[in-house]
Amino acid sequence: MSRRTPKFSTPLPRTPPGPVRIYDTLREKVVPLEPLVPPRVGMFVCGLTPYKPSHIGHARTFVFFDTVARFLAQEGYHVFYVQNVTDIDDKILRVAAEERVDFSVVAERNFAQYLRDMDRLGVRSVNLYARCTDYLPEILEQIQELVDREMAYAAGGDVYFDVSRFPRFGALSKQRKEDLQPGARVEVDPRKRSPEDFALWKSAKEGEPRWESPWGPGRPGWHIEDTAITVNVLGPRYDIHGGGTELKFPHHEAEIAQAESATGESPLASIWMHAGVLTMQGEKMSKSLGNVLDLSSALSQVAPDVLRFFLLSGLYRSPLEFAGTASFEEAERAYRTLERPYRRGEELWREAREDGGPTLPEEVKAGSRRTVDRMVEALRADFNIREATAALYGWSREVGARWASVEPRRRADLDVELAPYRFARDVLGYFSVGTYAPPAAPGDLLKALVEDLLKVRQRARERGDFGEADRIREELADLGIRVEDSPRGPSWRLERGGT
RNA sequence: GCCGAGGUGGCAGAAUGGUUAAUGCGACGGACUGCAGAUCCGUUUCUUGGGGGUUCGAUUCCCUCCCUCGGCUCCA
């Protein structure tokens, strides 16, 4: 596949080539994406530590980077997207100890749940989920390399990275060593030579899981797995590193220090992307603060497609405020006003004639193309999803009037009119993610009964007995069956949570 | 204290050194409908946190003050 080849099942208007521009935290400006080995793009995003079920704050980051990967693929890049899974760490051990089970039970249970939730949200672009515990040889090798180069030192079974040997430490987060407040939030380990040093290897305490190492039995520190994984999977340098903004310091600084010291190559990642946090009542949603909404609870309150839409609203770099149910309700209304015309268009497409070419006026075809162009341009400008969505709203107004009529249509025309929606579907994941439970799977018996009732109602309407007609409609509504009249006759569907 | 990101209409939330500051939600009016819904059309509200500066012109650039959020070794 060459660059710029659309991946769509239906032809999409060609958008003129142009670079994707992304804000790079390290350089503090928007820079063009220039892959090291075009058209390949290597992308790594810091994954989660599955010690608890994940929440909608995590989902924001991962839904966003899923969209990044989808868009880059749409732009013709061959994306390889890696996410790590920190399946061994202090908190997992703590939970495992409480439950009296092996740490892997806790990690695998929560990770499996995470995968199910991500699947429901339409996150499907990750090519490799790399578990820390699957990379012990690579981790040990990288630590050894750092020790050999005297960038790290062993101390009582632990191994620490010597930050004083890496002057660029702090470049990403713009922190100067002297400005840091050691111990501001976390106790300083007395075995470190300097407070800013960080652990590469932690010696095993009594009863803890352990792996053998030249420094004694223990387990990897928090930061080392990511670079051991990326150096081996993506190489010493790669194109995009993503993660939540709160990981900038110290985690991403540590990654840079480790990888660049171990490989001697720089920069580790060409572009550092940071997704803003999800806040709740003005505070970061955080597992440790406890102000979290678990993904599974969220998905019991709101349809997955609406949740995805909500998480993608707003600029990815800014904080996104979650105001509880009100946020979901507003997102739902906003999303459905896009979804309704899309569904209508696809329905018309299914009913349309297959033969013949497009008959739409040129300005309609141009309008469709302009809309897609505007969406592509918005996404190329540092993933402005909001602007891309605004373009789709504009297009919805245009097709809304045409699609209200009952004239017969051609598929070729509808392909043109649907192109902007299909772009949103494929790239942003709108309209393609699960909606409320039974989408419309009424049994045959129910179907027959409802259709019969609607015939009775139609006869009542025809003889002007609107009282009876409305009564039938209301009674059906009470049963969760929604009836709507249109020039094409009545239609009905099961409401959310309906029969 | 230090670093970073922000403060835009009733709400959410974009954008730009220069015509009337997107878009959505809400509200109001109209068309369509027996009614409702959906759809379409129109209206509604901000002069862009306070102050100062640069400029022919700033919401957009600079300075300063106030406030919010994130980070300063648990965190997506």
Q: What is the DSSP string of A139-182?
A: HHHHHHHHHHTTSEEEETTEEEE-GGG-TTTTTTTT--GGG--T
The whole-number average pLDDT for the span A416-444 is 79
Q: Which nucleotides of B are covered by protein (CB under 7 A)?
A: 1-6, 11-15, 22-26, 33-41, 68-76
pLDDT at A287 > cutoff 80: no
Query: Do A249 and A331 lie in a common domain?
Result: no
A342: amino acid identity, one letter: Y
Say what the pLDDT of residue A6 is: 34
Domain-located, residue A419: yes
Nearest alpha carbon to residue A355 among A411, A406, A415 = A411
Query: Do A356 and A316 lie in a common domain?
Result: yes
A434 compared with A204, residue with greater pLDDT:
A204
Cβ of A372 near strand B (distance < 7 A): no
pLDDT at A9 > cutoff 60: no
Domain-located, residue A4: no
pLDDT confidence bin for A182, thresholds 50/70/90:
low
Say what the pLDDT of residue A11 is: 44
Can you spell out the DSSP letters for A322-391? E-THHHHHHHHHHHHHHHHHHHHHHHHHHHSB-SS---S-HHHHHHHHHHHHHHHHHHHBT--HHHHHHH
CATH of the domain at A387: 1.10.730.10
Say what the pLDDT of residue A180 is: 59
Query: Do A151 and A52 lie in a common domain?
Result: yes
Q: Is A201 helix (H, G, I), strand (E, B) or coil?
A: strand
Chain A 404-423, CB < 7 Å to strand B: 404
Domain-located, residue A7: no
pLDDT confidence bin for A347, thresholds 50/70/90:
confident
The residue among A287, A316, A339 that closes a domain is A287
The whole-number average pLDDT for the span A271-276 is 93
Decide: residue A70, CB within 10 A, 0-12 exposed, 13-18 middle, 19+ buried. Answer: buried
Q: Closest nucleotide to residue A62 (Cα to C1')?
A: B76
Query: Do A244 and A130 lie in a common domain?
Result: yes
pLDDT at A79 > cutoff 50: yes
Tens digit of each residue's pLDDT (9 = 90 or more) over A439-459: 445 677 888 888 899 999 989
Query: Do A269 and A132 lie in a common domain?
Result: yes
A355 compared with A40, residue with greater pLDDT:
A40
Query: Do A204 and A117 lie in a common domain?
Result: yes
pLDDT confidence bin for A19, thresholds 50/70/90:
confident
| Whole-Å CA distances, A458 to A42, A46, A260, A482, A491 | 60, 58, 74, 15, 12
Q: Closest nucleotide to residue A64 (Cα to C1')?
A: B76
Cβ of A84 near strand B (distance < 7 A): no
The percentage of chain A sitting over the pLDDT mark of 90, rounded to a whole number, equals 55
Say what the pLDDT of residue A224 is: 95
Query: Do A347 and A391 lie in a common domain?
Result: yes
Tens digit of each residue's pLDDT (9 = 90 or more) over A133-151: 999 999 999 999 999 999 9
Residue nearest to nucleotide B74 (CA to C1'): A288
pLDDT confidence bin for A15, thresholds 50/70/90:
low
Name residue A391's beta-bridge partners: none
Cβ of A279 near strand B (distance < 7 A): yes
What CA–CA distance (Å, rounded) separates A73 from A135? 28
Residue A55 structural domain: 33-287
Query: Do A184 and A71 lie in a common domain?
Result: yes
What CA–CA distance (Å, rounded) separates A33 from A476? 55
pLDDT at A335 > cutoff 90: yes
Say what the pLDDT of residue A16 is: 62
Say what the pLDDT of residue A159 is: 94
Q: Closest nucleotide to residue A335 (Cα to C1')?
A: B24
**A90-125 as b/e, with b when 16 or more CB fall inside 10 Å?**
eebbebbeeeeeebbebbeebbebbeebbebbbbeb
Domain-located, residue A10: no
Indicate the average pLDDT of chain A. 87
CATH of the domain at A153: 3.40.50.620
Query: Do A474 and A431 lie in a common domain?
Result: no
Query: Do A142 and A236 lie in a common domain?
Result: yes
Number of Cβ atoms within 10 Å of the Cβ of A438: 12
Per DSSP, A410 falls in state B
Domain-located, residue A295: no
Q: At what angle do helices A411-423 and A362-380 cross, to 10 degrees?
A: 20
pLDDT confidence bin for A499, thresholds 50/70/90:
very low
Number of structural domains in chain A = 3
Nearest alpha carbon to residue A60 among A298, A273, A329, A275 = A275
User: What are the φ and ψ backbone dihedral angles of A178, each rounded to 5 degrees?
Assistant: -70, -15
Per DSSP, A215 falls in state T
What CA–CA distance (Å, rounded) separates A179 from A185? 15
Say what the pLDDT of residue A3 is: 32
pLDDT at A181 > cutoff 50: yes
Task: Supply A218's token pair.
Answer: 């223990």
Query: Do A89 and A145 lie in a common domain?
Result: yes
Query: Do A338 and A252 lie in a common domain?
Result: no
Q: How far is the CA of A379 from the C1' of B21 (A)?
A: 21
Domain-located, residue A2: no
Cβ of A248 near strand B (distance < 7 A): yes
pLDDT at A62 > cutoff 90: yes
Chain A 193-212, CB < 7 Å to strand B: 195-198
Q: Is A222 helix (H, G, I), strand (E, B) or coil?
A: coil
Domain-located, residue A15: no
The ipTM (two decimal places) reads 0.91
pLDDT confidence bin for A288, thresholds 50/70/90:
low
Say what the pLDDT of residue A10 is: 42
